Amino acid sequence: MATQVTATANAPRSSSFLRIAIALQTLTLFLQAVSAGLLLTSSYGETLHSVGARVRYGASMLYVLAAVLAWRPGGGSPRPVWHASGFLVLASVQVVLGIAHVPSVHLPLGVLMFGLSVLALARRNLEPATAG
């Protein structure tokens, strides 16, 4: 009984952490688009895009961690974990394509990832705070 009460009490907190992680991921994706534009127009754009890529990858890992923490204590749906893991896979592909200088796939994949992240954020914000 005490475990169930603790898990229920932690659900809003872990759900908030998940929302913050998705928002951070969405923000870093947007900033990567901005730094990609700077990459084409300024001397410091490459450095910003490179640093942003590392931060963005870290945001994907944080999203996975937040999804697991939101799922495990309450025993809710593992769907957010699958979504977060998918974003991490896409981020890995994005890094490989960026290093290989394949902009014909790298750029559309970035746009797709931003759109999916905005959708995930909107969907998460429409759910009640206690949902997993």
Residue-wise pLDDT tens digits, 44-90 = 999 999 999 999 999 999 999 999 998 877 667 789 899 999 999 99
Query: What contacts 24+ positions apart, CB below 8 Å, involve 34-43?
Result: 36/107, 36/110
**Euclidean distance between CA atoms 93 and 25, whole angstroms:** 16
Q: What DSSP line would sit under 16-59, residue for residue?
A: HHHHHHHHHHHHHHHHHHHHHHHHHH-SSHHHHHHHHHHHHHHH
- pLDDT for the residue numbered 47: 93
The closest alpha carbon to 91, from 113, 75, 111, 70, belongs to: 113
Q: What is the pTM of this model?
A: 0.82
- pLDDT for the residue numbered 77: 78
* Type of residue at 28: T
- pLDDT for the residue numbered 15: 80
Output the six-digit token pair for 103.
């902009």
- pLDDT for the residue numbered 57: 96
Domain boundaries, the chain: 2-126
Say whether 100 sits in a helix, a strand or coil: coil
Residue 129 scores a pLDDT above 60: no
**Euclidean distance between CA atoms 112 and 118, whole angstroms:** 10
Residue 35 scores a pLDDT above 60: yes
Distances (CA, A) of 51 to 43, 72, 79: 14, 32, 30
Mean pLDDT of the chain: 86
